[in-house]
Structure 1
Amino acid sequence: MALLDDLGAAVDPELGVSAEIAMLNSRYEDAPAQDILKAAIRDLYAGEIALVSSFGADSSVLLHMVAEIDPATPILFVDTRKLFPETLRYRERLVELLGLTDIRTEFPAQDDLQAADPAGMLWMSDTDACCHVRKVLPLDRALSGFSAWISGRKRHQSSTRSSLQVFEREDGRIKVNPLANWGADDVLAYARDRDLPPHPLVAQGYPSIGCLPCTSKVEPGEDPRSGRWRGQEKTECGIHLSLGDGQAAGGRN
Structure 2
Amino acid sequence: MNKALLTRARELTARYGNLEGADLLRPLAGTEFKDKLALVSSFGTESAVLLHMVAQADPGLPVLFVNTRKLFGETLRYRRMLVERLGLTGVRELSPAAEAETAHDPDGILWRRDATACCDFRKVRVLDAGLAPFSAWITGRKRYQATTRIELPLFEAGSDGRIKINPLANYTRADVEAYLDRHDLPRHPLEEDGYLSIGCMPCTDRVAPGEDIRAGRWRGQDKTECGIHLPLPSSTNLVGAS
For normalisation by structure 1, the TM-score amounts to 0.87
Give yes or no for the alignment of 1:76 onto 2:64.
Answer: yes
Structure 2 CA distance, aligned partners of 1:88 and 1:39? Answer: 30
**Equivalent pair of 2:23/2:57 in contact (CA under 8 Å):** no
Residue 141 of structure 1: aligned partner: 129
Q: Secondary structure at the match of 2:186?
A: coil
Structure 2 CA distance, aligned partners of 1:101 and 1:85? Answer: 22
Equivalent residue in structure 2 for 1:42, among 1, 13, 30: 30
Residue 198 of structure 2: aligned partner: 209
1:95 deviation in Å? 0.5
**Cα deviation digits, residues 106-153 of structure 1 (max 9, x gap):** 111122211211000000010010001110111112111111111000
**Equivalent pair of 1:28/1:166 in contact (CA under 8 Å):** no
Q: Greater relative contact order: 1 or 2 (C-alpha under 8 angstroms, separation 6 or more)?
A: 2
Equivalent residue in structure 1 for 2:171, among 179, 182, 201: 182
Structure 1 CA distance, aligned partners of 2:23 and 2:76? Answer: 30
1:22 deviation in Å? 2.0
CA RMSD of aligned residues (A): 1.6
Residue 99 of structure 1: aligned partner: 87
* Aligned positions of 1:3-152 closer than 5 A: 16-152=4-140
Q: Aligned pair in 2 of structure 1 residues 28, 232: CA closer, same or farther (>3 Å)?
A: farther
Residue 215 of structure 2: aligned partner: 226
Q: Which amino acid aligns with 1:175?
A: K
1:36 deviation in Å? 2.4
Moved more, 136-145 or 124-133: 136-145
1:242 deviation in Å? 2.0
Residue 240 of structure 2: aligned partner: none
1:27 deviation in Å? 4.4
1:23 deviation in Å? 2.9
Structure 2 CA distance, aligned partners of 1:213 and 1:105? Answer: 20
Structure 1 CA distance, aligned partners of 2:182 and 2:141? Answer: 21
Structure 2 CA distance, aligned partners of 1:102 and 1:68? Answer: 13
1:41 deviation in Å? 1.2
Aligned residues: 231
Moved more, 100-109 or 34-43: 34-43
Residue 156 of structure 1: aligned partner: 144
1:20 deviation in Å? 2.3
Q: Secondary structure at the match of 2:65?
A: strand
Residue 200 of structure 1: aligned partner: 189
Structure 2 CA distance, aligned partners of 1:87 and 1:177? Answer: 22
Moved more, 120-129 or 22-31: 22-31
Q: Which amino acid aligns with 1:156?
A: Y
**Cα deviation digits, residues 6-51 of structure 1 (max 9, x gap):** xxxxxxxxx8221221232344445323332223212211111011
Identical pairs, percent: 56
Q: Which amino acid aligns with 2:149?
A: R
Structure 2 CA distance, aligned partners of 1:41 and 1:225? Answer: 30
